[in-house]
Each structure stands twice: as C-alpha cells, then as structure tokens.
Amino acid sequence: MVLWGSNAREAHPIFFHHVLKAIRRGAKLVVVDPRRTASAAWADTWLSVKIGADIALANAMAHTLIAEGLYDKAFVEAACEGFEALKAHLAGYSPEAMAPVCGVDAETIRQVARRYAQADRAMICWTLGITEHHNAVDNVLSLINLGLLTGHVGRWGSGLNPLRGQNNVQGGGDMGALPHKLPGFQDVEDPVVRARYEALWGASIPAKKGMTLTEMFEAMGVGALKGLYVLGENPAQSEADGGHAQARLKKLDFMVVQDIVFTKTAEMADVVLPARAAWCESEGTVTNSERRVQRVRRALTGPEGARDDLEILGALAARLGHPLGPLTAEALWDEMRTHSPMHHGMSYARLEAEGGLQWPCPDDAHPGTPFLHGRLWERPLRSPRARLSITHDAPPVEALTPEYPWRLTTGRRLDAYNTGVQTGPLRSPLWRETTVDMHPDDAAGAGFADRTPVTVRSRRGAVVAPVRYDPSLPRGVVFMTFHDPDAVDTNTLTIDVTDPRSGTAEFKAAAVAIAALSHSDAAE
Amino acid sequence: MDLRPLRDAPSPEERDAIDAALGAPAAPPTPLALGAAEALRPQLLSALHAAQSRVGWVSRGALGYIAERLHMPPAEAYGVASFYALFSLTPRAERVAHVCDDVACKARGADALAAALEAALGPAGESTQGIGWHRSPCLGLCDRAPGVLVQCAGATPLEAALGEARPDVVLEALRRREVPAEPPTVIHQPREGLRLLQRVGVADPTQLDAYRAHGGFLALRRALTLGPAAVVRELSDSKLAGRGGAAFPTARKWQAVAAQPARPHYVVCNADESEPGTFKDRVLLEDDPFAVIEAVAIAAFAVGAEEGIVYLRAEYPRAYTRLTEAIAQCEARGYLGDNVLGRGVRLRVRVARGAGAYICGEETALLNSLEGKRGEPRSKPPFPVEVGYLGKPTAMNNVETLVAVLEILREGGEAFARRGTPQSTGTKLFCLSGHIARPGVYEVPFGTKLSALVALAGGVTAGRRVGAVLLGGAAGVFIGPDELDLALSLEDARAAGATLGSGVVMVLDDTTPLLPYLRRMAAFFRDESCGQCVPCRVGTVRVEELLSRVARKKPLDSWAAETERLEALAQTMCDASICGLGQTATSALSSALARFEILPKDEPSP
Amino acid sequence: MRLEDAPPRRRITLTVDDREVTVAEGSTLLDALKQLAVDTPTLCWAENLTPVNVCRVCVVELEGARTLVPSCSRKAEAGMKIRTDSERVRTSRRTVLELLASTVDTSAAASLQAFSARYGADPQRYGAQGAPHGPRDAARPGHHAVTSGAEAEGVAQPVKVDNDLYVRDYAKCILCFKCVEACGTDAQATFAIAVAGRGFEARISTEFDVALPESACVYCGNCVGVCPTGALMFTQEHSLRAEGQWRPEAQHETDTVCPYCGVGCVLRLHVQDDTIVKVSSPVESTVTHGNLCVKGRFGFGHVVKLRRNKREAVG
C-alpha cells in the first residue's frame, strides 16, 4: 500500500482505519511525503520526497521496474500501449540520476519499486500532495504508469485511488458539475449526447465546454466574466493567492452567493441566498472516493428563511421564465439515472436497502462495481488499451531565491476542515492557532525561538503567525494550515499558477521569506 | 505508530538505568512501524525493574522514557506497570521490606513482625527517612517463616530474602543496606531415595563442574543422542504429569508443540511459584539451577525450539542471580549456544522476571507478562501449545516437572513409572509449613500417606495435634484431622474431593481458629485477581466482605441467606470465571465450610 | 465483495437447546445463537470489536466442559451440545448482573437493567452500595483496606470533565474494555486509554490519570460510541440529562453522510426538538463499521439552531 502525497491519518481518518486493519494483517505501508506525517509514522518505509519532485521519484521507480525486468510483461503487452516510448523516455530517469532531484537515495527507490512490483496486491492512493501542483496531471499519470507497468490495476485489492477531500467531489463530477461533461461523464461536445439531453430538457446546451474555476477567475481579471453565481464555496478565502482572488471578485458587476452560512465571499455578494445544509437539511445523494453513492437525508428543518438548494434553483428558473414544476431529489435522481448508464441500476430503494452502491451499476440486478478497469484483464482485450504516459520532471514554478529562500507547503489538520466555515464552531480540545511550522534546526539557525511571531512573506502577500518547532519536517520546508483565515490568511501567500489540464493551483509549493516581526508588521 | 509521548523527562540516573537495560538509544528517535514497535514490548518489565531499582519507584519521567524507547503508548505502559505489585508509580521509600503476612507465615509470627515494624516505621506503605515496609502475599519462604524481601534502590541495588525474620534484623538490614546471608537449604529427610533433591545441599549450586560431578548434563547428552521423538517417547513411557497443579501429561504437551507447523517454537519454564505455601521450586532454582537450565534445554530440543525462557517471580532474587550466572557458565562451556556440545544444535535459555503478580503463574497470564503486557489470562482455546509466546507454539512446564525429565532420561521412562502409583508416577515434592516441627521441602513417592509425610517432618509442633491441613495451596482444600490417612496421589486426592495442587501441606494445630486464615486467603484472591472478568473481580470482594460479616457476627440479613449468597457466588465464580484463579478462589473456603464450623449457628434476633 | 481467493468456509453443525444449527467454520457460539434467534445478553461484546469475553453474561453450558463457556468468543465446533437457559447458566448470569449492580451506578445502563429484570437479579443482594476504600486512581495493586462488609464496596467517584466534547463518569464503568479496544487495536489505534491497576481496583485510565487534553486522545468519540453503560457520554447528552431534558422517546434518528471528506462516513443523527443531540454511525456501514472521527462526530455546530446571517452566530 503506497500513500503518496496523502496524510490520510489526519485528513481521511476512517479510511485510515481500513489501512490500519490491513497493517495489522501484515500489509506493508509506504508513505511518500516530504513531511513525516502521522500517516508516515505507521509506514514501514517513509520516502521524504522533495516538494514537487514526485515525477522524478515515480519515473525512477518505473525505470527500475523496466531495467530489472520487474514489470508485468504479459499485462503490458496485452493491455497497454506506449511501452517502447516510455522505456526510451525513462532512460534518463535512473534512480542515481533522480536521487539528488527527489531527495530519496537510489537504493531505497529500487527497493520500494521492487516491493511494489512483487506484492501480490498493491495499491497507490494519493491526495492533494499530488494534485495541488502546476503539473498535477503529469504527477497522476506517472503514478498510473507504475500501476500499469506492474498490473496492479483492475483487480481486487489493487488499484490507483485518489482520496477525495470532500464528501461529494466525486458525485459532483459524476453529475456533470464539470465544464466539459454531462452526467455520467458524457462529453458535452459530443452532439449525440447533447441532443439526448436537449430533448430531455427542452432547452439547448452550449456546444462548447465551459470554463474551469481558474479560467473563470482569469476571465474576471480581464473583465470578460462579469457575473458569478457561487454555490457552497468560499473562494474569497479558499483560492490560492487570496488577495488576488478577492480583487477579481470585486471587479464583478454582479455576484450571487448561495450558502449555508454567511461566508467572506457572501460579504462581497450582491445577493445572498440562504440555503439549507445539504448533508442534514436536504434529501439527495453523495458519492465517496470508492464511487459509492449514498443517501443524504433531511434530519433538521433548517433555519427559518433558508431553502433547499433545489427549491432555490427551481424558483430561480421560474423567475427566469422556465418553470420546472415541483422538484424532488428522488425524481431528479431518477431522471438523471435514466440517461446516465452507469447510474441506471441505482434506485433510492436500492441505495437505502444496500447501504449505497458503487458505480457503474447499469441495471437493477447489478451489484455495483467495487473496482474499475477489470476490463484490462479480459483476454483478448475487447476495449482500448491503457496508455502509458510520458511525463517530465518539472520543479515548482516558483523557484527558491535568496530573497524567498523557504519552501512553503500547506495542508490539513485532523480537527479542522478547509477554511473553517463548518468546523469553526467545533470546540475541539485539539485546536491550536495557525503556526509557521519549521524544522527546529532551520528555525534556530534563522534565529527564531519556538513560538516567536514571524512575518511570512511571498511575492503575493504576507501573514503574521508564530513559529512552531516541528522535527517531522524536512529542512528548508515551512508548513502551514489554512483553517483559520480570519486570523491568519495563509492563502494570501500561495501561488495561483495552475495545471492547464486540471485547473488546480499549486497550493503545495510557494517560495516565502520569513522574518522576525518588525514594528510595522506588529502595528498591522 | 503515531504516538504521543509523555512530556516529563527522566532524571539522568533513571535514563542511564533504563539505557543500561535496553541498550543505548538510536538517535534521532523516529517512529517505528507496528510490527517493529511490538517486537520491543517484551522488554517492558525489565526496563521498569531497572528504573525502579535505581530510584525506588517508577516516575512519570521514567515511564515516559521507557514508553518512548519501546515505541509504546504511555497509557499502555502505565496500564502494565500499574498491574504489578512490585512496581510503585508513586514515590516510595528507597529501602523497603516486603513482609509476608500470608497463611504460612501467619502461622509462624508474621502478624507480630508486622506490628513491630509498624511501631518502628509507621503504617505500611509510608516512608520514614527513606525506609518503609509493605505487607506482601506469600514470598515462598514458608520453610523459614516469617519471611521478608528486602529491596534497596540505588546505583548498586540490593534485593535479598530474609527468613525467620526478626524485627531488629529487618530494621538493621534496611538501615545498613545489607542482609545477612541466607543459610543453605537443609534437607530434613534421609538422603537415600532422593531424586529431584539429590543435589540440593550437596553440590555447589554456583559451579558448573560441581553439577557435572553429580551427574549434570548426562541427560542432555542422552537427549541429543536419542533425538527429539525418542525423548518424547521416554516421557510418554514415564507417564509424567505436570507438577504445577493441573497434572497434564507432559509428553502430550511436548508432542503437540513439536507437531505444530508454525515457527519458531518456544519453551517456557514456569518459575512463577506463587501459590501460598509453596517453595519447592525456589529450592530447586536456588540449589540446583544447572538442573533447571539443562532441563529447559532438553525441552527446547524435544519440541523444536531454539529458545527457552525461565519466567521467574521477582520475589526470588537469589534464584535470579544463580540462574543468570549458571546460564553464563553454560554458554561459556558450550552447554548452551549455537552449537551445543558440538552437535550443531542451537539452544538458548534466558531468565525473565515477573513483578509481583500471583496470576502470572497461570500459563496464559504468564505469556502476556512475558510479552510485556498486563498479566491477564487469555481465553482458552486456543491453548499455548498452538498459540503461545508471541503467538507461537509454546511448551510451558513447571520447574519440578522439568527437573523430573532429567531423571526420566537418566533412568528411562519405564523405570521412572515404576515409582509412585500406576496413575501418579515418580516422586513428588511437598512443601511442609505451618505448625510443623521441621518445615521444609520433602520428596516422597506418590501414594505416600499424608500422615507419614507429616511424621517425616517431625509431626505437629510440640504438644499439639493437627487441627486442619491446607492441601494444595490457597486454591486447594482444607481437610480435617480425620483425613490424614489420605494417600498422596492424583487419583486418591481427586476421589477425596481434594487436590495436591502445587504440593502445599500447611498444617494448623488444633488451637488455631480457621476464620483468620480464610479471611487472609479471601483478601489474597481479591488482591491477586487480575480484574478482567466480573465473577472474579467483584466476586472475590463480596466473598471477603461476607467473611468480614462472619467475623463481626453481623449478617446482612440471616446466616441462612448468607449461606445461599455464598453458594451462588462460589458456583458463579467456579462456572463463569475466565481462569483457574477465580474458579478455585472459593475452593478452600467451601472445603472449610463443609468440614468445620465457620458460620455462627445462631441467627440474629430480628 | 469478498477476496477472490478466499477459500469457501466449511459448514459445521451443532446443537443448541436440542435444536440443530449449521454455521460456517470459525463462527462463534453467539453467531449460532443469533442464527437461531436465541436472545443472549451481552455487555462487553460488540460487532465491531474483538471479543474480550470479560463480562461473562453471555455464558452458556457446553456439554462435557467443566465450566460454562463465553458464547461471544468460543468458536463453534461440530457436534457441540449447548444449553442456553439451564439453571447453571441462569445462576451465573444473574449473579454477574447482581455483582455489577452492587458495584456501579447502572442508572444509564439500559441494557444491563433489562437483563437484570429478565434474570431476576436483585441489585441489593450484597447490601447497599458503599464507597470505594480510597481514591480509585491512586489504588495500588496487591493492597487494600479490609472493609466491615456492612456495605458492598462500589466504585463511586466524581465525574471527570476535562474537555468540551465528552465526559467520563467511571462510577458507571463496568470495565467491559470496549472503550480501550475502540481507542486501540480495533479501530482508532490512538491508545489514549488503557486498563490500569489490578483486580477490583482495575480501571480505565490515561497514563498517570492525566486529563484528556494532555493525553493522546483525538476526540473521535468511538469510545463513547461503544460504551454500554453511559460511563462515557457526550457532553451534550450529559448536560441534557442533568437538566432532565434528555428525552429518548422524543428523538428520531436519521442516517446521512458526513460532509467533511471523501470517505463517505454514514452519520446517524439523533435529533430532539429539531436539534442534533448526538451523532453515531451504524455498525453495519461498510465504510465506518460504526466509527467516526472528531469532525464527523462533533462537527455539526454550524447547523445548530440560530446559525444565520452573522458568522459570529456560529463562531
């Protein structure tokens, strides 16, 4: 089991219970993370990869798999494409060459590659340590290469899993809350698909894909996007380079915010639509990281004046001249699954009786699908081959300089969630203020005693917070959380360069300077 | 594991003592994976001993440092340390006397000794200028009652037993940190016919060559020549049954372990002799340590193990010294090691110490204790022959059982079986104590009459007659003066509703009231219950309370109702307790109630 | 979905109260009893924990065995003959319940009270419940003060309140070990608590009885979730009970999904007067097996009544 760029012990605690069970039964855990996290503390092997050097490490492992003949030749031959190109490309990625780049010594890289290849079943799980980089997609592709080369895909107990950070990231995508997809990952630019939905909805659908969140913010910046409707998101505080994001939001002619609490973003809005909390004041479904669709139910009536998301959207549609009639979550779900093949078999009745179902579940008798890509093991292969990808090591966009010599990375803590909108009221005895975590030797070398307040400055902004000594960090790295933005708005420091394909910002790597608190800072 | 350490730091003395026990620490400390962390756990008790014997107690700093060194949660380390009576987690006098006030010593002046110490040092548990005393359950010094265990913490800690202890001697020993040498063990019976005790008092127990000169290591040589299967066959022919109390056939146990596919196998010698009134194993361990080691080595060879562990109760400091020194000599001379006697066989023996817990004599509790855990019995099945030390097949035998194996290999199983009775073969050690002329350990063939054994020990203390005999220990039974005709064999004891248990024969004269002894035993079981299961944890308390009411002659309601109450308690404790402790905790009491007048006859007036 | 390579399990047949029952090899006697719908009392057993068989209320009579056996942990074997309601079984179950009732405050232990009624257990059998003979957290193993026997020594002690999320009232603790298992090897692997002390003085404790905020506790509340007697209780429930406002009959339970990460933990919301008063998770959920983390268990403050337009209202 490889956890790559994931501190599941704190960020996905109940998933980690399952990992612990496996460890108790003898499974071996490898954790790849610059920090020696609580998850890494359970690992047999911890690889303290340098920030942003994941591709160097993954490619060096792939190099080893091929050089030592450890890859699954039969599987690669039968089910993959691009092997020869990959092999040629990886020639320059020997463990020796990559060791100084990724900070893991060559022999350790080889050993982990061997153990991964030789395991009966092996799984790679990752989270934002992989995806919050400017080259997020390449990061993921280089991990997929490892799974494909070893055949650790499409089988029970093996696979490649992104652990979702929110309860319905997966479901939102499944339902088409992506700029280029309709429900069930059907392509919006496919005229056949589009025609089907146009017939169903009695309205035309734009023929071209829409903008990603990042593209929207860029469009706001140049004045191309003038109106924004924000549902359940707090971009004024959650976006990288928060100061910049807020400036762009201010440029809008008109902004509507629909949320369950009055967020920082809502403060900037022209209209605020108070909504009921989806997870306990509304009916519906969410989909978790294992593609399990489960019911959420209304347990509370919700505050006076707050309305269900569906009700708000329905009323809005009516005002805009498109009355949708009475909407219920189940009726909408049934409509959706009629047209999304992978959801066909998931009636509310089944979801309730069977404790959720994992898609694809194409018909009423289908038990759901615990793992994907089993098709790659069909012989002869009746579906497209899986592609091995060429990925290039590329360091973080913002290089360290004498002026900004520290590498800032960000992450979550166990008892808090994102910008703290929901966990704020939780009176957690574990709560502690936002700190600037540094290796004790680094901090002492820079002249900061434990708990000294410092100014952390990036090219985009500055915050003030106390230093906290943390020996689990590698040298040169500074770690901060972003849970308490009203006190310390960490995201004013982060950089909003994004991966062009996924649109995710490089929250995990910024360059910062740290200085003792000056009088002017203190006055702020 | 992502553990949160205790913040308190150890003192330099504590740190050094713990490092001396565990080896120098790796720097910097980094988390270990689960398996690697758990592998360190068995060192916990020895680390706790190291800290305590340096400063007299286990401080927060010491416990925190031990937990950190062993990569274990501090809460678990605390849970383990607080289980054992000899560890103190609050500041305690640096020099303490543990005064045995258990049944055998009670019969020979323990209460007076305790009273004298209380007068001199204040109540038990308090510290006066770094000196204090505690009451203790049986210390296995019943032949030299009353017994005391002296512990003085420091850079060169002192731990020593003191027999026939007088208050002035105890106080002087504490003040001077010096204990007069214990005299050698005396065998009061004629030497001919002695087998298990043949070297006791004859061969110098500190010299390997003395052991060899008295037939030492012939059995090991013979075993290596015969091979494991033939050794088990000899054992089978001998019909040897375990001497720890349960009388399980030893050959079957060894065979079962040898046949287990899981590896490695282990041998554990149960030297946690703690049954009140028992001291026979101490005599063997102190006076014939090489024999114990040789026997453990043979057992390991026979069951396919490379490691044998002697789990020794911490109350036997002299045995600890003798055993560890004997093991060192055996290793130096090639009787233990990677190539035993040049036969290419690897056999190691080590000693692990308990820390004051009667329950650790129960085999599965002992295994937990060896693993650095609380001495809580496991549920059976599975039995240790399948799932034992560290989850591996383990043969566990009592000290006396193992020493008997030497005799079997020396003379052959069939010859061995000719002694004793057809169903109880060989000779047996009995521990005579209480109101008896010559307390001590005696070796007689099974089937010997109890009256003859009492006579061998010189009979009841001058001028008195037998009032009652406690047979088999606190978990045994009281029998009356009319039952001395009992033949001491497993089958005769069973037929009489008695047990030989661990060989306790504690005699009380006819002037001695039983109730104080029953109450002491009830208190003993309450103190020694591990606390896991409800029948034992609470039942032992309720039994003691009931006996307090008997002593005060004030029933809750009526003596008839108290009798019913006691019967329900006894039945439930026997039926529903996890282990033998709870199951037998009312055994002696029930036997006494059946034979003697314990409960008042008159009901209180309403 | 099971492991592809898991071997099919053998089936074995045994007899319970003269009825035959067939179960998969490796099943416990309790599994067999459940299959036959024999209602068996349990206190220390839980579906999501390793059996520790310490409470002994589930004991049954096994033909040929010297003692009764715990049905929760004893594996079924072919040909076993079991009696679940013999006089011996009833005596032991009743006595165990009486011993517990004589020792602890059972006022919040609904299941224990129900079992006691069923077996005719008299909580006063051993006299009125008395105080412990000293502070229990300071008790030393192997030493105790002898009592008069006029009262049954109990475990009364002050409630431990050292954080805002849950309280520990060990006067109600029957030492079933469940919280230790949930905190440790069976779920959370935090090991903030352990059994300390020995015998009647055995107790659940952090290291040196330090307060929870000084311990390793991460406030997942899984210990509270498994406690059968109310010794561990969420602060909210504890306060409502103290005010006489805890009304189970006025509560409804709704299952939904936690909003805090992508794992998809099923939350069971216990709602009274349109307010969440407790959060648990159903043990049959394949995602949680009944366990949650601090956010799922306690992170519902943002939907308490009166959250509204001002963020201060929730902060």
Range of the domain at C81: 7-128
In angstroms, the CA B229 to CA B237 distance is: 12
The residue that leads in pLDDT, A89 or C4, is A89
User: Do the domain assignments include residue C35?
Assistant: yes
What is the C-alpha to C-alpha distance for residues C291 and C283, in angstroms, rounded to an integer?
8
- Extract the tokens encoding B48: 């706790």
CA distance C36 to C29: 11
Say if residue B365's pLDDT is above 80.
yes
Interchain contact A38–B (C-beta under 8 A): yes
Do residues B499 and B528 share a domain? Answer: no
Angle, CA of A58, A59 and A61, to the nearest 5°? 65
* C68 and C22 in a common domain: yes
| Six-digit token string for A368 | 């759901």
Q: Which pLDDT band, with edges at 50, 70 and 90, does C4 fall under?
A: very low
Q: What is the pLDDT of residue A425?
A: 77
Domain annotation covers residue B604? no
Q: Is A455 within 8 Å of A519 (Cβ atoms)?
A: no
Q: Do C53 and B84 touch (CB under 8 A)?
A: no
Does one domain contain both C265 and C212? no
Query: Are the beta carbons of A260 and C234 closer than 8 angstroms?
Result: no
Q: Is A25 exposed, middle or buried (0-12, 13-18, 19+ CB in 10 A)?
A: exposed
Q: Which domain holds residue B156?
A: 95-176
Do C310 and C265 share a domain, yes or no?
A: yes
A273 phi and psi angles, rounded to 5 deg:
-110, 105
Given an 8 Å threshold on Cβ–Cβ distance, is C219 in contact with A430?
yes
- For residue B88, being part of any structural domain is answered with no
- Mean pLDDT of the B149-177 span: 96
CATH code at C37? Answer: 3.10.20.740
Domain with residue C233: its CATH number is: 3.30.70.20
Q: Does B446 map to a domain?
A: yes
CB–CB contact C200 B74 (8 Å): no
Q: Which pLDDT value is given to residue B606?
A: 66
Residues C66 and C87 in one domain: yes
Contact indicator for A328, A297 with CB cutoff of 8 Å: no
- Residues in A closer than 8 angstroms to B30, CB to CB, are 36
- Residue of chain C minimizing CA distance to B547: C149
Residue B202 lies in a domain: no
Tell me whether residues B28 and A471 touch, CB distance under 8 A: yes
Nearest to B575 among C67, C196, C206 (CB): C67
Both B443 and B503 in one domain: the answer is yes
Half-sphere exposure of residue C96, counting CA atoms within 13 Å on the CB side?
35
CATH number for the domain spanning C251: value is 2.20.25.90
User: Residue B70: which of A8, C178, A27, C191 has the closest Cα?
Assistant: C191
A429·C4 Cβ contact <8 A: no
Say yes or no to pLDDT of C313 above 80: no
Q: Which residue of B has its CA nearest to A45?
A: B33
Which of B81, B112, B141 terminates a domain? The answer is: B81
Task: Tell me the chain A residues in contact with residue C298 when contact means C-beta distances shorter than 8 Å.
Answer: 426-428
Domain-located, residue C138: no
The Cα–Cα gap between A346 and A359 comes to 8
Among C265, C285, C301, whose Cβ lies nearest the Cβ of A355?
A: C285
CA–CA dist B65, A66 (Å, integer): 46
Domain annotation covers residue B7: no
Last residue of a domain, one of B487, B509, B531: B509
Instruction: Report the distance separating Cα B223 and Cα B345, nearest Å.
Output: 12
Whole-number percent of chain B with pLDDT over 90: 96
- At C312 the pLDDT is 37
Cβ atoms of B466 and B139 closer than 8 Å:
no
To the nearest whole angstrom, how far is the Cα of B20 from the nearest Cα of chain A? Answer: 27
What structural domains does chain A harbor? 2-163 (3.40.228.10), 210-358 (3.40.50.740), 406-523 (2.40.40.20)
Which residues of chain B does C200 touch, with a Cβ-Cβ cutoff of 8 Å?
A: 526, 529, 531, 537-538, 540-541
Helix (H) or strand (E) holding B562: helix B559-576
The CATH number of residue B476's host domain is 3.10.20.600
Judge if C286 and C224 occupy the same domain: no
B341/B359 Cα distance (integer angstroms)? 37
Are B254 and B279 part of one and the same domain?
Answer: yes
What number of other Cβ atoms are within 10 A of residue B4's Cβ? 17
pLDDT score of C308? 40
The answer on B479 and B341 residing in a single domain is: no
Q: Name the residue type at position A405.
A: P
State the DSSP code for B420.
B
Mind spelling out the 3-state secondary structure of chain C? CCCCCCCCCCEEEEEECCEEEEEECCCEHHHHHHHCCCCCCCCCCCCCCCCCCCCCCCEEEECCCCCCEECCCCECCCCCEEECCCHHHHHHHHHHHHHHHCCCCCCCCHHHHHHHHHCCCCCCCCCCEECCCCCHHHCCCCCCCCCCCCCEECCCCCCECCCCCEEECHHHCCCCCHHHHHHCCCCCCCCCCEEECCHHHCEEECHHHCCHHHCCCCCCCHHHHHCCCCCEEEHHHHHHHHCCCCCHHHEEEEEEECCCCCCCCEEEEEEECCEEEEEECCCCCCCCCCCCCHHHHHCCHHHCCCCCCCHHHCC
Contact flag B2-A24 (C-beta cutoff 8 Å): no
With bands split at pLDDT 50, 70 and 90, how would you rate the model's confidence at C315?
A: very low
Domain annotation covers residue C150: no
Closest CA to B170 of B139, B202, B210, B201: B139
pLDDT at C8 over 90: no
CATH of the domain at B166: 3.40.30.10
Question: Residue A2 forms beta bridges with which residues?
Answer: A30, A124
Task: Look at residue A428 in the predicted model and tell me its pLDDT.
Answer: 86
Give yes or no: residues C286 and C220 share one domain: no
Query: Which of A429, A306, A172, B602 is CA-nearest to residue C302?
Result: A306
Whether B78 shows a pLDDT value over 60: the answer reads yes
Candidates B78, B519, B537; nearest CB to C199: B537
Q: Does residue B528 lie in a domain region?
A: yes
pTM for the full model? 0.95
Unique residue bearing structure tokens 């289908």: A366
pLDDT at C1: 35
CB A416 within 8 A of CB A481: yes
Lowest mean pLDDT, pick from B4-13, C1-10, C83-92, C268-277: C1-10
- B329 pLDDT higher than 80: yes
- Does residue B457 sit in the same domain as residue B533? no
Instruction: Judge if C223 and C290 occupy the same domain.
Output: no
Q: How many domains are contained in chain B? A: 5
The residue in chain C having the minimum alpha-carbon distance to the alpha carbon of residue B375 is C198
* B459 & B312 share domain: no
B1 belongs to a structural domain:
no
Domain annotation covers residue C136: no
Does residue B167 sit in the same domain as residue B272? Answer: no
Domain boundary among C189, C216, C244: C244
Q: For residues C258 and C227, state if they share a domain.
A: no
| φ and ψ of A18, to 5 deg | -65, -40
Bridge partners of residue C62, in order along the sequence: C82
pLDDT score for A240: 80
DSSP-assigned beta bridge partners for residue A186? A182
- Interatomic CA distance for residues B32 and C252, integer angstroms: 45
Q: Are residues B170 and B213 in the same domain?
A: no
- Residue C32 Cα, gap to closest chain B Cα (Å): 18
pLDDT number for residue C233:
97
Specify the DSSP element, H or E, that contains B28: none
pLDDT computed for residue B81 by the predictor: 98
ipTM confidence score: 0.95
Residues B402 and B434 in one domain: no
CATH code for the domain in which residue B542 is found:
1.20.1440.230
Stretches in chain A below the pLDDT threshold 70: 519-524
Report the neighbours of C using a cutoff of 3 or more CB pairs below 8 angstroms. Answer: A, B
> In whole angstroms, what is the distance from residue A364 CA to residue A348 CA?
11
- What does the CA dihedral B79, B84, B88, B93 come to, rounded to 10 degrees? 180
Which residues on B lie below 8 Å from C149 (Cβ)?
Answer: 544-549, 552, 554
Q: Is residue C94 part of a domain?
A: yes
Whether B240 and B373 map to the same domain: the answer is yes
**Quick one: which H or E segment has residue B300?**
helix B289-303
Q: Does B3 touch chain A (CB under 8 A)?
A: yes
Instruction: Determine the Cα–Cα distance for residues C258 and C267; give it in Å rounded to an integer.
Output: 6
CB contact under 8 A, C153 and B539: no
Q: What is the pLDDT of residue A520?
A: 57
Same domain assignment for residues C65 and C24: yes
**pLDDT tens figures, B12-23:** 999 999 999 999
C139: in domain: no
Do the Cβ atoms of C207 and B6 come within 8 Å?
yes
Residue A23: its chain B contacts at CB < 8 A? 33-34
Residues 6+ apart with CB under 8 A from C301: A424, A425, A426, A427, C314
Q: A41–B34: do the CB atoms touch at under 8 Å?
A: no
| Residues paired with residue C187 on neighbouring β-strands, in sequence order | none
Q: Which residue has the higher pLDDT, A302 or B604?
A: A302
Residue C297 and residue C166 in contact, taking contact as beta carbons nearer than 8 Å: no
Chains that touch B (3 or more CB pairs under 8 A): A, C
Which residue of A lies nearest to B71 if distances are taken between CA atoms?
A: A41
Check whether B605 has a pLDDT greater than 90: no
CB-based contact B2 A41, cutoff 8 Å: yes
B476 & B551 share domain: no
The Cα–Cα gap between A86 and A88 comes to 5
pLDDT at C82: 98
Residue C112 has pLDDT above 60, yes or no: yes
Q: What pLDDT score does C6 carry?
A: 56
* One domain for residues B393 and B270: yes
C58 and C12 both lie in a single domain: yes
DSSP 8-state assignment for residue A252: -
Mean pLDDT along residues B472-484: 95
CB contact under 8 Å between B571 and C88, yes or no, is: yes
Residues B258/B303, Cβ–Cβ less than 8 Å = yes
Number of domains in chain C: 3
- Contacts of A among chains (3+ CB pairs under 8 A): B, C
Are β-strands A45-47 and A357-358 bridged in parallel, bridged antiparallel, or unpaired? unpaired
Q: C interface mutation test: which of B541, B544, B558 has the most C CBs within 10 A?
A: B541
Structure-block tokens of residue A408: 């800032």
Distance separating alpha carbons of residues C269 and C265, to the nearest angstrom = 12
Look at residues A63, A49, A57 and name the one whose alpha carbon lies nearest to residue A94: A63
Average pLDDT, integer, range B594-602: 91
> Cβ contacts (< 8 Å) between A42 and chain B: which residues?
1-2, 31, 33-34
Q: Which of A302-316, B88-102, B322-336 has the lowest mean pLDDT?
A: A302-316
How many angstroms separate the CA atoms of A261 and A417, rounded? 15
For residue B270, being part of any structural domain is answered with yes
Is C149 within the bounds of a domain? no
Position B593 scores a pLDDT of: 96
Q: Which residue in C68, C73, C202 is closest to B531 by CB distance? A: C202
From chain B, pick out residues whose CB is under 8 angstroms from the CB of A39: 2
Identify whether the C-beta of residue A265 lies closer than 8 Å to the C-beta of residue A230: yes
**Helices marked H in A68-168:** 73-79, 83-90, 95-102, 106-118, 128-131, 136-150
> How much of chain B is helix, strand and coil, in % rounded to 5?
45, 15, 40
Distance from the Cα of C205 to chain A's closest Cα (Å) equals 18
Task: Please check whether residue B199 is in contact with residue B302, taking contact to mean a CB–CB distance below 8 angstroms.
Answer: no
Burial class, B111, CB count within 10 angstroms (exposed 0-12 / middle 13-18 / buried 19+): middle
Residues C216, C106: one domain? Answer: no
Q: Are C116 and C14 in the same domain?
A: yes
